[in-house]
Structures are given as C-alpha cells and as structure tokens.
Amino acid sequence: MLTEVVLLGRDTNRPWWDYPGLEFWKFLNLIVFATALTYIVRRRVTDALRSRREGIRRAVLKAQNQRDEAVKKLAEVDSRLAGVESEAAGIWAKARAEAKAERERILQDAEAEMLKLREQSQREIESAGKVARQELRRFAAQQSVKLAEEVIQREIQPEDDARLIRLSVERLGSSRI
C-alpha cells in the first residue's frame, strides 16, 4: 500500500476534505474569522465612511458657499470698479471744467486789477502833475519875488524909498478915515 500512496501521492483512507494541506476545517475557520471580522469592522468602517462622507459633503457645501460669496463679491467689485471708472471720468470732467472756470476768473480778476492799476497810476500821475505845477508856481513866485527884490534893490534910490514910504503912510491914513 505504501507503493500505492507513493504512486498516487495521496492517502486513500481519508475523505476528500481532509487531504494534507487542504483541510476543510482551516477553510471553515477562515470563513468564520472573516465573517466575525467583517461584522465587527463593518460597523466601524461604515460609521467612519459615513462620517467621512458627511465631512466631505459639508466641505463641498462650504466650498460652494464660499465660491458663491466670492462670485458675489467679485460681481460687486466689478460693479464698483465700473462705477469708479465712470466716477473718475466724471471727476476729470468736473476738474477740467473747474480749471477752465478758474482760469477765466483769474483772467477777469487780472484784467480788473490791471484796470484799477491804470486808473490809480493815472490819478497818481495827475496828482503828481498838480503837485509839480504848484511847486513850479511857488518856485516861480519865489523867483519872481527874489528877482523883484533884486531889481528893486538895484533900481530904487534912497529918495524913491522915502517917497514910497510917504505914499504908503498916506494910503493908510486915508483908509482909516
């Protein structure tokens, strides 16, 4: 029989599920262990996967909300930017208009000031002319008096002097009466 077992490579007295290396109880033990492990781990894995799925769902919702807010803020910024550009154009137009008005006002003020200065200069010239004429008259009168004194001193003799004094006294006497 030993030759048979060696020739066939198996023992004929054992059932098919009990061959060496292929024992049925090992498979049965593996199946029971895998089932128990699956039952125990399945709840934890399911809970972990469920909580992970919920976390991912919340993260996706949060990301969508943040994206929506960012899109809304971007639209608001774009509208503000468009408003800023139009506002800047308005400010430039207003500044140009104000600068033009200011330039006109300054020119008008300068012209009015020039007119005032001309009138003032004219008055000063006329005043200076009057003063100069008065000084010239006074100078001429002084010179005339001086010249008359010189002429009188040169021309009048002592007898003319006595005669003039007498005439003056007579005039004074006749005017009192």
pLDDT band at 16 (very low <50, low <70, confident <90, very high): low
Residue 106 has pLDDT above 90, yes or no: yes
Residue 143 resides in a domain: yes
- The model's confidence at residue 79, banded by pLDDT at 50, 70 and 90, is confident
| pLDDT digit string, tens, across residues 110-162 | 999 999 999 999 999 999 999 999 999 999 999 988 888 888 788 878 887 78
- Asked, for residue 173, whether it belongs to a domain, the answer is no
Per-residue pLDDT band at 21 (split at 50, 70, 90):
low
Q: What's the number of CA atoms in the CB half-sphere (13 Å) around residue 112?
A: 6
> Could you list the residue range(s) of the whole structural domain that residue 7 is in?
2-155
Structural domain tally of the chain? 1
Sequence-distant (6+) residues with CB within 8 A of 99 are none
Task: Write phi, then psi, for 18 (nearest 5 degrees).
Answer: -115, 35
Tokens 């991912």, residue? 56
**Domain contains 99:** yes
Backbone angles phi, psi at 47, to 5 degrees: -65, -45
Mean pLDDT of 59-81: 91
- DSSP three-state, residue 43: helix
Share of the chain above pLDDT 90, in %: 43
What is the chain's alpha carbon radius of gyration, rounded to the nearest angstrom?
68
Q: Is the pLDDT of residue 60 over 60?
A: yes
Q: How confident is the model at residue 19 (pLDDT cuts 50, 70, 90)?
A: low
Cα→Cα distances 76→67, 87, 109, Å: 14, 16, 47
Confidence at 22, pLDDT banded by 50, 70, 90: low
Backbone angles phi, psi at 150, to 5 degrees: -65, -45
Q: Is residue 10 part of a domain?
A: yes
What would the two tokens of residue 101 be? 């008005």
For the ranges 3-7, 62-66, 160-164, which has the lowest average pLDDT? 3-7
Counting Cα atoms < 13 Å in the Cβ hemisphere of 148 gives 6
